[in-house]
Amino acid sequence: MKKTLLSILFLSTISFGQDCSQLFFSEYVEGWSNNKALEIYNPTGEEIDLSSYSISRYANGGTSPSTTQLSGTISPYGTFVVGLDKQNPDGEGFEAPLWDGYYTYIDSITGEVVTTDYDANYDLQGKIDLFLNPVYYFGTNADSSAAYPTTMYFNGNDAITLELLGSPLILDLIGKVGEDPGASWSDSDGNYWTKDHTLRRKGNILSGVNFNPGLFDPTLEWDSLPANTFNGLGVHECNCGSSTISEINSDFKIYPNPVRMKEKVFISNKYTIDEINIYNKLGKLILTDKYRSNNTTIDISNFPSGMYFVSLKDQAGTKTRTIVIENE
Backbone torsions φ then ψ of 136, nearest 5 degrees: -85, 130
Task: Give the number of other Cβ atoms within 10 Å of residue 289's Cβ.
Answer: 12
pLDDT in tens, 12-42: 333 344 688 899 999 999 999 889 999 999 9
Closest C-alpha among 281, 235, 286, 242 to residue 265: 286
- The confidence band for 247, taking pLDDT boundaries of 50, 70 and 90, is very low
Asked if the model's pLDDT at residue 90 lies above 70, the reply is no
Amino acid (1-letter code) at residue 325: I
d(CA 187, CA 193) in angstroms, rounded, equals 7
- The confidence band for 67, taking pLDDT boundaries of 50, 70 and 90, is very high
Q: Which of 202-211, 236-245, 253-262 has the highest mean pLDDT?
A: 202-211
Q: In percent, how much of the chain has pLDDT > 90?
A: 38
d(CA 38, CA 17) in angstroms, rounded, equals 23
Counting DSSP H helices and E strands in the chain, the numbers are: 2, 20
Given the DSSP bridges, would you call strands 317-326 and 259-260 parallel, antiparallel or unpaired? parallel
Lowest mean pLDDT among 141-155, 190-204, 224-238, 294-308: 141-155
State the burial class of residue 216 (Cβ atoms within 10 Å of its Cβ: 0-12, 13-18, 19+): buried
Higher pLDDT, 104 or 278: 278
Q: What is the mean pLDDT of residues 80-94?
A: 73
Asked if the model's pLDDT at residue 193 lies above 90, the reply is yes
Kindly report the pTM of this predicted structure: 0.69
User: What is the location of CATH 2.60.40.1930 in the chain?
Assistant: 252-326
Residues comprising the chain, all counted: 328
**Topology classification of domain 252-326:** Immunoglobulin-like (2.60.40)
Q: What is the mean pLDDT of residues 248-274?
A: 80
Q: What is the pLDDT of residue 245?
A: 37
